[in-house]
Amino acid sequence: MPKELLLQVTPEIAANESLLKDYLSKQIKVSVKDIQHISILKRSIDARQKAIKINLKINIFLQGENFVEQKIELPEYKDVSTSQEVIVIGAGPAGLFAALQLIELGLKPIVIERGKDVRGRRRDLKAINVDHIVNEDSNYCFGEGGAGTYSDGKLYTRSKKRGDIDRILKLLVAFGATPDILVEAHPHIGTNKLPQIIQDIREKIIEMGGKVLFETRVTDILVKNNEVQGVVNQNGDTIVANKIILATGHSARDIFELLDRKKIFIEAKPFALGVRAEHPQSLIDQIQYSCDYRGEHLPPAPYSIVKQVNGRGMYSFCMCPGGVIAPCATSPGEVVTNGWSPSKRDQATANSGIVIELKLEDFKPFAKFGALAGMEFQKSIEQNAWHLAGETQKVPAQRMIDFTQNKVSKEIPKTSYVPGTTSVEMGQVFPGFLSQILREGFSEFGKSMKGYLTNEAILHAPESRTSSPVRIPRDEITLEHLQIKGLYPCGEGAGYAGGIISAAIDGEKCALKIAESLLR
Ligand code: FAD
């Protein structure tokens, strides 16, 4: 039987197997050559003290003990080419994991995606970054893999159900992600690795008899006697099915408008909104690791911060160490920021959304839009920022201390945001109460993280697509829409997920409920 041990070691020992063996041989008093294998089960960083330690949970196998490398395999997928069809609208994490689960359950997914496949999407990302052209069907939010494809690929979630999370992580490993994601306390994949994984998932769906239709935008959902009948695409073609998973993400405004127009019940939902702050990564390392230089064995430091300011939560969101700020608009005439990182997180800057929780009452000026009031509030800020920055994909920007002091920055240095920035007094982007909270909040952040409040940090605006501004209500047990039979609102856009892992979990849940309902 291997021995399970909990250790605290230096970053150098944790990074080097032979040093780790030396260390263990002294700890458990066996010779190095008697140690056959060390399996790392969990790894996290403890940066609370000046001398940073790595916490490891390991299994140690001595010579003679039976060590077998565990290979993570895909589930037994069935050939579903002639099975009952289920429409899945959206090929984000919710839609793709719903499709895989349907196949596992013997049902045939027809995945309908408005955007292009992962490779085709790249050209459109270049067009936003370089030519300031936003394709409304193919961008950082829309296209194969959804919003998470060209992201940092952070894979942690607030969900408490460890079993569900492990299942998704194992599937990702079986589709080619590094097994390290099963071990790290805060796993991430990176923009350079995600597209291949997404492509392999799609190829598996097709190999097992499912269908994936790209560049196919759903423009109508057919409903008769409160039951779904199928969907219509932008060319007027109808695809028939009486089970539909609606996993179109938080940016599919036309889907929210369609549901509203058809009087399919939806409701406004609070979300969070603010700016994206960019610091030199070396500065964040110094703050988080209390050192001048992080050295070669520690990863670029992340941070996470929350404060209550004027009765509202202000917090860091989707922090990307060693990352890049991305232009995430989904329509011309608006600007939106978010962030991504490559797997090594080796860029010179650290960026994070810094957002404030909104309340339904904030949407009052847009009350005439009913359930779409939050969406219109969000849109108005994105459009305002677009005007202020010069009506391209440049975004309004300001140095952090200048912002807290209401001073327009004299110049903005080049940041990682490729389309560029325009120096603007950030207060003009947001309603007054939000600017005030942001100003006070940054001063508070500076007190907790010494060095964070600095003019070296550049704020970009807005960070506005944090979660869906709309909820599509569903029955808690059957997961069907409250009013429309056969319609399964799913993932982040419907208000049931926030992030890649929770969206994937929700996709699986909807697929399971459909299988269950067909057995009834
Ligand atoms: P989405 O991923 O939004 O997928 C919805 C899909 O539906 C899209 O592909 C869209 O094209 C398609 N669609 C929309 N309308 C239609 C229509 N009418 N017809 C057909 N198809 C349609 N989360 C993390 O957990 N970790 C991260 O590191 C992270 N980084 C991010 C970085 C960026 C730049 C962005 C934009 C997001 C990031 N997120 C991250 C958030 C994460 O991507 C989302 O939470 C997640 O993708 C939501 O999954 P989903 O499947 O519910 O929706």
**What does 486-499 look like in DSSP terms, one character per residue?**
TEEE-HHHHTS--S
User: For ligand 1, atom 23, which residue shows the shortest CA distance?
Assistant: 499
Q: How far is the CA of 492 from the centre of ligand 1 (A)?
A: 8
In Å, what is the CA distance from 140 to each residue of 77, 99, 122, 126, 316? 30, 22, 9, 10, 21
In Å, what is the CA distance from 215 to each residue of 135, 374, 390? 12, 28, 31
Residue 474's Cβ-side half-sphere holds a number of Cα atoms within 13 Å equal to: 26
**Cβ atoms of 142 and 330 closer than 8 Å:** yes
Q: Which one-letter amino acid corresponds to residue 157?
A: T
Q: How far is the CA of 148 from the centre of ligand 1 (A)?
A: 5
**Mode of pairing for the β-strands spanning 312-320 and 349-357:** antiparallel
Q: Is 221 inside any structural domain?
A: yes
Instruction: Show which of 440, 463, 486 is a domain's final residue.
Output: 463
User: For ligand 1, atom 10, which residue shows the shortest CA distance?
Assistant: 142
User: For ligand 1, atom 33, which residue shows the shortest CA distance?
Assistant: 151
| Both tokens assigned to 312 | 């509202």
**Cβ atoms of 17 and 36 closer than 8 Å:** no
Q: Kindly state whether residues 190 and 289 are assigned to the same domain.
A: no
SS3 (DSSP) at 69: coil
What are 340's strand-pairing partners? 324
Instruction: Show which of 62, 94, 110 is a domain's final residue.
Output: 62
Ligand 1: atom nearest CA of 217 is 19
Number of structural domains the chain divides into: 3
Q: Say what the pLDDT of residue 68 is.
A: 86
Q: Is 49 inside any structural domain?
A: yes
Cβ neighbours for 111, distance < 8 A, ≥ 6 positions apart:
88, 90, 91, 95, 96, 99, 202, 205, 210, 211, 212, 213
| Residue 353 in contact with ligand 1 by CB distance below 6 A | no
In Å, what is the CA distance from 108 to each residue of 174, 241, 244, 477, 480? 21, 11, 12, 23, 19
Q: Kindly state whether residues 93 and 35 are assigned to the same domain.
A: no
Q: Kindly state whether residues 278 and 263 are assigned to the same domain.
A: no
Q: Kindly state whether residues 488 and 430 are assigned to the same domain.
A: no
Q: Kindly state whether residues 303 and 350 are assigned to the same domain.
A: yes
Q: Give the separation between CA 438 and CA 461, rounded to whole angstroms.
A: 12
For position 99, which CATH number holds?
Answer: 3.50.50.60
pLDDT per residue, tens digit, the chain (520 aa), is: 788 999 999 999 999 999 999 999 999 999 999 999 999 999 999 988 888 999 999 999 999 988 888 889 999 998 999 999 999 999 999 999 999 999 999 999 999 999 999 999 999 999 999 999 999 999 999 999 999 898 888 888 776 666 699 999 999 999 999 999 999 998 999 888 899 999 999 999 999 999 999 999 999 999 999 999 999 999 999 999 999 999 999 999 999 999 999 999 999 999 999 999 999 999 999 999 998 889 899 999 999 999 999 999 999 999 999 999 999 999 999 999 999 999 899 999 999 999 999 999 999 999 999 999 999 999 999 999 999 999 999 999 999 999 999 999 999 999 999 999 999 999 999 999 999 999 999 999 999 999 999 999 999 999 999 999 999 999 999 999 999 999 999 999 999 999 999 999 999 999 999 999 998 7
418 DSSP assignment: T
Question: What φ, ψ does residue 145 adopt, rounded to 5°?
Answer: 95, -10
pLDDT digits (tens, 9 = 90+) for 204-249: 999 999 999 999 999 999 999 999 999 999 999 999 999 999 999 9
| Residue 321 in contact with ligand 1 by CB distance below 6 A | no
Q: Kindly state whether residues 391 and 476 are assigned to the same domain.
A: no
Q: How far is the CA of 56 from the centre of ligand 1 (A)?
A: 33
Cβ neighbours for 195, distance < 8 A, ≥ 6 positions apart:
118, 119, 145, 149, 150
**Mode of pairing for the β-strands spanning 395-399 and 421-423:** parallel
Q: How far is the CA of 113 from the centre of ligand 1 (A)?
A: 12
| Residue 187 in contact with ligand 1 by CB distance below 6 A | no
| Residue 385 in contact with ligand 1 by CB distance below 6 A | no
* Pocket perturbation via mutation, ligand 1, pick of 88, 500, 505, 506 by most ligand atoms within 8 A of CB: 500
Q: Kindly state whether residues 445 and 477 are assigned to the same domain.
A: no
Query: Scanning the structure block, which residue is given the tokens 């992201």?
Result: 151
Q: Is 224 inside any structural domain?
A: yes
Q: Say what the pLDDT of residue 70 is.
A: 83
For position 29, which CATH number holds?
Answer: 3.30.70.2700
Angle CA 135–216–370, to nearest 5: 70
Q: Is 121 inside any structural domain?
A: yes
pLDDT digits (tens, 9 = 90+) for 414-440: 999 999 999 999 999 999 999 999 999
ipTM above 0.85, yes or no: yes
User: For ligand 1, atom 30, which residue shows the shortest CA distance?
Assistant: 151
Q: Kindly state whether residues 361 and 296 are assigned to the same domain.
A: yes
| Residue 247 in contact with ligand 1 by CB distance below 6 A | yes
Instruction: Show which of 417, 443, 463 is a domain's final residue.
Output: 463
Q: Is 67 inside any structural domain?
A: no
The pTM of this model reads: 0.96
Q: Kindly state whether residues 448 and 501 are assigned to the same domain.
A: no
Q: Is 92 inside any structural domain?
A: yes
Q: Say what the pLDDT of residue 8 is.
A: 96
What are 223's strand-pairing partners? 228
Q: Kindly state whether residues 108 and 138 are assigned to the same domain.
A: yes
Q: Is 77 inside any structural domain?
A: no
Where b means 16+ CB within 10 Å and e means fewer, 262-273 reads: eebebebbebbb
Q: Kindly state whether residues 307 and 437 are assigned to the same domain.
A: yes
Q: Kindly state whether residues 476 and 451 are assigned to the same domain.
A: no
Q: Give the separation between CA 212 and CA 90, rounded to whole angstroms.
A: 10
Q: Give the separation between CA 357 and CA 118, rounded to whole angstroms.
A: 32
Q: Say what the pLDDT of residue 295 is.
A: 87
Ligand 1: atom nearest CA of 156 is 25
Q: Is 279 inside any structural domain?
A: yes
Residue 245, domain extent: 85-267+471-519
Alpha helix ranges (H) inside 219-322: 253-261, 281-289
Q: Say what the pLDDT of residue 49 is.
A: 82
